[in-house]
Structure 1
Amino acid sequence: MNIQHKDNGTKGAFYIEKDNVKKAELTYVWTGKTKIIIDHTEVDDSLRGEGIGEKLVRQAVDFAKEKDVSILPLCPFAKAIIDKNKELQDIL
């Protein structure tokens, strides 16, 4: 599945569409130029069990590393994924 990304400079999202319908999404907001806040992650029931939520979180972490910014994971799901995976914690 192809993870798409949009960012308007204030907020953004990583998402997956299927048949032109958004089936999974992780949203974030910029706080200044050095940090993003992950505020929501949602995966449609039809994709549950495929690890899609974790893939979205990892994509956000890769984005943060590329942009040299930190992440504040306010979304409980994203926080749990980052807390479980030490290799993701260097962006906190």
Structure 2
Amino acid sequence: MAIIQKPGWFYYMENDERLGEVSYLKEENGTVLALSHTYVDPSLRGQNIAQQLVDAVCDLARSEGKKVKPDCRYAAVLFKRFSEKYADVALEPGDNADSCPIN
């Protein structure tokens, strides 16, 4: 298992296959990372892979002194469920949070 960072993405790789991903956009002159999409292959769901990917974006934001806006519905639910864990980086979800399917 490996989580790999590319500009705007974190990928979950296993056996050279991308099985999960989270994407983010930079907003507010780069001071906000807006989580726009989260996906994990159905064979891996329930293993907290999506949360690990979201956590990778949050760790990046922490290391760079940025905030995270959970525009993806999965991320919005995660931020609400574990509000104390994400309190230091969390912003209110954007208007798109309701339209992003939970994958």
TM (norm. structure 1) is 0.88
Identical aligned pairs, as a percentage?
30
Structure 2 equivalent of residue 13 of structure 1? 9
RMSD: 1.1
Tell me whether 1:50 sits opposite 2:35 in the alignment: no
Q: Which structure features the higher share of strand residues?
A: 1
- Number of aligned residue pairs: 88
How far does residue 33 in structure 1 lie from its aligned partner after superposition? 2.0
Q: Deviations for 1:28-83, whole angstroms, at most 9, x for unmatched residues?
A: 01112211110000000111111101111111111100011111110000111111
SS at the partner of 1:90?
coil
1:23-34 aligned within 5 A: 23-31=19-27, 32-34=29-31
2:85 to 63, 66, 87: 87
Tell me whether 1:75 sits opposite 2:72 in the alignment: yes
SS at the partner of 2:34?
strand
List alignment gaps of at least 5 residues for structure 1: none
